[in-house]
Structure formats: C-alpha cells, structure tokens
Amino acid sequence: MRETLAAWRPAIDDAIADLLPREIDADYLEDFFGAPTYAYDPESIQRGLADPVWDLLDRGGKRWRAVLFLVLVEGFGEDPEELLAYACIPEILHNGTIIVDDVEDEAAIRRGEPALHRVYGEDVALNAGNALYFLPLKVLERDPGDLPAEARLAAYEMLTHELNRTHLGQGMDIAWHNERDVRISRAEYLEMCACKTGCLGRIVARLAAIVAGQSEAIERHAAAYAELTSVAFQIGDDILDVENSLGRAGDFGKEFGNDVREGKKTLMAIHALEEADPADAERLRGILGADTNTDEEIREALAILESAGSVEYARERALELAAEAREHVDALGVDPDTAEKLAAFTTFVIDRDA
C-alpha cells in the first residue's frame, strides 16, 4: 500500500494545485470565482489562503483518502486519471478539518512543525480551514468528469449528510476533552470516531461509487468498508500517540503525550479507567482532568495505560474492525488486485509507525 500511496501523491498534489494554485493571480481568481464586483487583491489571498494551505500540504501527509478513492474507482472499472479531480474532494476536506481541529485543541505541532495557527494566527488558520470545506464543491460545479446530473446531485446530497455528521463527532470530542470527568462508554467513543473520522472515509467510498455509477447496494458496502477502516485508523492514531511518546514509533509529528496533555478520552483511557487498579484509575482520571501536566505526569499516565493492558486492548479492537471492513470487500465485485489492495489497506492504517 505504501507503494500505491507514493505513486499517486505527486498527481494528487498537482490536481489540488488546479483548485488552489501555489501562486495566486488575478486571472485565476476571475476564472475560478468569477469576475470581481470591484477588485480582487491577489496578494492578500496569497498570504491569507494559499500560503498556509500549501505550507501544511508540503509538510507531508499520506493522501490516503485520495488514493483510496482512486483505487476504488479503478476497481469499479473507471479510469482513475480521468476522475483525479474528484479524489481531491476528501483530501482537501480532511486538511480543512485538521487546521480547524488544531485551533480548537490549541495544538502546538502538526506534521512535525508548529500548527498553522501558531505560524499565521488563529484568524488566518480558521479562514483557511473553513475555505477547504467549500473549495471541493467547485469540483462538482465545474464537473471535469462530465457526470450525469443525477450523479452530481447525489454527490452534493451525500456531502451535505456526511459533513454534518463529521461535525457531530467533532462536537462530541471537544465536549469530552473539555470535561474533567470521564463519563463516556466505549460505544460512545466508537460513535464519535464513526462520525469524526468515519464520515470522511465514507465520503471517499460513497463518492467513488457515485461517480463510477455503482448501485446503492455497492455504495452501502463501500461506505461500510471505509467507515470501519477509518475507525480502525483513528484507534491506530491514538495508539501511535502513545507508542511515539514511549519511544517505540517513528516521527509522529505531534507533541509528546499529545492526547493525554489534551485530556482526550481515547478508547485506551476509557478501558484503563474501567480495568486498572482503582488507585491507578483514579490517578489517571486526575491527570486527564488537569488543566496542565508535567512530562513526568504524562509518562505516569502512559504507564498506567500500558500496565492496564489498554494499549493492547485498543490494538485488538482496531484489528477486529479491520476484519469487519474486509468482509465488505467481497460484496464490491472488484477485481482480485483491487480487492487485495483494499484488504491490505485495512491493516496498513493500524500497523504504520508514523
């Protein structure tokens, strides 16, 4: 899967640059957004939008959502190069969510460098992040794949539904890590993941099915595959935060003990509070609920998660979800090579080290 990701990334970035060029000029603004009522200021749009967005994109990111879209459309019998512009939709949306997420979390680091709001200010970061929610709609408006009208309408309706659910998930996550207590269940945590992370995955899969003219049944199976894989990815991301902080993973690109420092109620934290020795559970609850923590307290919390078996529990749950995702691959009717890539992807999202 790493080879597939690496092979497609340059083409994906070129397609994103067609939507938001690295260098903004008046011709692009008039062509893309229409003639100005009075006069555009390309220089300010460059500094306030293009520069921060490309700063983030150039830092890395695997573009897996875009690549998964391309793998699916090829499996559905379409030429992925002809539909490359549509692959940008979930990728751009994802980057918009992480810019806004970092502001909401007061995050310090993103992809190994200061979070965008630390570099450009919260006002610029929020505007750039919000712009990336709307920019992908221009793909459907301009319709580079010459889709039937009913397919374009289905894509708009799908995006409206899934993006609304994405913000339900983010709302739950924000509320939880602003609370001192940990009152949520494992099922509620998984629902948050299904909304916050899973809906972006569902956008990938449902959009691929829609533009490739697949049946509603195929679209449902593709969506279930992508949602389960995305939830497994989120749990894997939480595990990687712990593993990185314990010095057992690659360069994760986030602050040491990021999730504990933010007081996030991960699946591991919920499990540890239920299963750890009562004294350890109470200590973990206090660390997660504190306004600030020392590095030593972060290490103490990580040790409790590990000793309670919570890291291993989360890994096993992610693997179970990945196995459930693979059960939907057979129903997609794709060729063996695509089926193999889709199956491999479900384990890649858990086993990656950065």
Helix (H, G, I), strand (E, B) or coil at 109: strand
pLDDT for 255: 65
pLDDT, mean of residues 170-196: 91
- Taking the C-alpha atoms of residue 52 and residue 57, their distance in angstroms, rounded to an integer, is 9
> Which tokens belong to 59?
């830092």
Q: In whole angstroms, give the CA distance from residue 241 to residue 263.
A: 13
Highest mean pLDDT of the ranges 62-71, 207-216, 239-248: 207-216
Q: Is the confidence at residue 217, as pLDDT, over 80?
A: yes
Q: Which two tokens stand for residue 130?
A: 């919000």
Residue 252 pLDDT class (50, 70, 90 cuts)? very low
Q: Which runs of consecutive H residues, i.e. helices, occur in 143-264?
A: 149-178, 186-196, 198-211, 216-245, 258-261
pTM: 0.91
Q: Residue 352: what pLDDT?
A: 65
- Say if residues 12 and 88 touch (Cβ distance below 8 Å): yes
pLDDT tens digit string along 281-302? 999 999 998 888 888 999 999 9
Alpha carbon dihedral 97, 101, 102, 104, in 10-degree steps, equals 150
Give the position of tokens 């309670």: 308
- pLDDT tens digits, one per residue of 36-59: 999 999 999 999 999 999 999 999
Query: How far is residue 113 CA from its own chain's centroid?
Result: 18
Q: 64: which 2 tokens? A: 């897996």
Distances in whole angstroms, Cα of residue 311 to Cα of each of 134, 165, 231, 277, 323: 37, 28, 16, 16, 19
| CA–CA gap between residue 295 and residue 246 (Å, rounded) | 12
d(CA 273, CA 208): 40
